[in-house]
Structure 1
Amino acid sequence: MHEARLYQKLEDEKVHCSLCPHGCTIREGRAGVCGVRINRGGTLYAATYGKVSAEAVDPIEKKPLFHFLPGTLCYSLGTIGCNFHCSHCQNWHISQATLEQQMLSEISPEEGVERAVRSGSQSIAWTYNEPTIWHEYPLAMGTLARQRGLGTVYVTNGYITEGGLRELAGMLSAFRVDIKTFSDEFYKKVCGGKLEPVLNATAIAHELGMHIETVTLVIPGLNDSIEEMDSLIRWVLDSLGPDTPMHFTRFHPDYKMQDRGPTSVAVLEKIYNHAKELGLHYPYLGNVFNHPYENTYCPSCGALAIERSGYSTVLRGLDDHKCTACGEYIAYVSEIR
């Protein structure tokens, strides 16, 4: 196994992991909360380094990222494990799996980059489960990817320490973060974590120059009040700025949360319109088929700039980042530098 980064050796062959805010103290022979960072003889190992549970070439919009290389393909990899245990997880079969339960493929960082290039992708994403706990592997692959001109993406819950983020600073292009709600109680009860570290990590990622897009799954009866969404939107405006894309996605029952139905589209539309009223330039709805609120509109004149249908994307009213109707600048990443 590959030795982990960001840990400290303690007495009695214990180790302290400082990669994520759980800050696990791990005894010999045990794993941290994530299940994949394992203490063997007083050394912490990244047990899933190079071990892949899922591999695909996806439209970048599937992440979802709407303002990062729109209309391009993204080579996507996942492994197993997570530092959250969300009751509604849609990928629970890998995020909550153990090493003994899964048959994992071996893909080296070098091979991963080659596969991305051969696929015609313009970026690599570590996704499907939480990439933070895979830290050493994306760091190695992403460094090589950037040398080849590829973008790099974390599809993440944002539960990473400042030290972990700063190690990624020269490598990671986009930080597509789930901000699940603006309630610490929700994080503790539903996810097994805390809100503040997610907000801190997202703000730091922004300061480090990473492209940020947020996703919030709107769950009936848990986080769908306009008051709670108001607090979240205002935080994004204050901390990240009005050009930050925010995706409000429709809940469908899954895993351990099957006691409620899908989110009302009317509720999602209300949140979208409130975000626009507060001054957010690019709110979006997700998991709602062919809805006009999946499109990008000019924040100045309202003209259609980018049209989306499913994962099909067409730049309609753009000319070099400018709205063709009024000349307003439309913020998105069009190339990797």
Structure 2
Amino acid sequence: MDQVRTQAGTDTTATRHPRLTFAQAVIEAIRHEMRADDTVFYLGQDVGPFGGVMQGTQGLYEEFGPQRILETPISESAMAGIGLGASCFGCKPIVELSFGEFLPAAMNQLINQAPNLHYMTAGAVSPQVVIRTRAGDGPYGGHPQDYSVWFCHVPGLKVVMPATPPDAYQLMRAAIRDPAPVLFVEPMSLSHGRREVVDLDATDATLGSARIARAGRDLTIVAYGSELPHVLRAAQQAAEEGVDAEVIDLRSLAPWDEDTVIGSVRRTGRLLTVHEAWKAFGHGAEVIARVMEVLGAEGRTVRASRVGARPVPIPSGPLRKLALPTWQDIHTAILRSAGIAPHS
């Protein structure tokens, strides 16, 4: 990361567009905001000299020291409480709860306190805090459960899950600056994936905005996080078989970009939602319900379907692939949505 830090601190055009992994992009976003605002600080387990879980804070301790990169005990409830309390007194903490499976250990702070304080105090207190976590499948063998959609149900709490290094960089910066509490979820399978050019000055990705990752005319696919690469691969295969799918990377789960999704489905008349989390009661169901409400009122008929994980606890080891959706599952769903019988 020394090279990245040198690049980030240089004003030449080339060094303001480094090639970064997802994890490096998140670190650069945090570094940028910490340099610009001394009320931003970071706390979590092993986030100091160790460099963080999955190298997620590498280089931050060396630059900002123990006064702003704080090591905590293994107590997610206390960590979230410290961050929430500090945010009520003018600080902008980033609280790392290493894996999404640990979010339930801090539910009182995340559900009963953080989203409600602004309303309970008539706006006198607005907690400006980011909860950073990781979820889903990935090179780290454990902790694959994804509970992100639970938090979308709570008014006052924003939830984001980017899928690319440029979006990870921009959305983390936006999350730190946002006046509301934000849950920032990183798909573990993408953390150390393919590097992409990241514009360190870009600010066009905002909370609540989606991105059209692939234009198309026959079908709208709404995806987010780790499933985006699988969806793009499946869409390319389907295109060779005559189905031109539009792919929307949702990026933000709460709020989500209704206008972009509904506008696309209004053109295509077909909707497929895809996520790594469980299919039942998932975010895709909310997207479909809202699209049906709006377009149904216009007298339009929409064909909708979903792809997601099977209704079992996501296992570790070789069984995991049997529970999670594959690009082949998505490809089959695309063909069926278009009225084409999949190949046997």
**TM-score where L is the length of structure 1:** 0.32
Higher helix residue share: 2
Structure with higher RCO (Cα < 8 A, 6+ apart) = 2
Higher strand residue share: 1
**TM-score where L is the length of structure 2:** 0.32
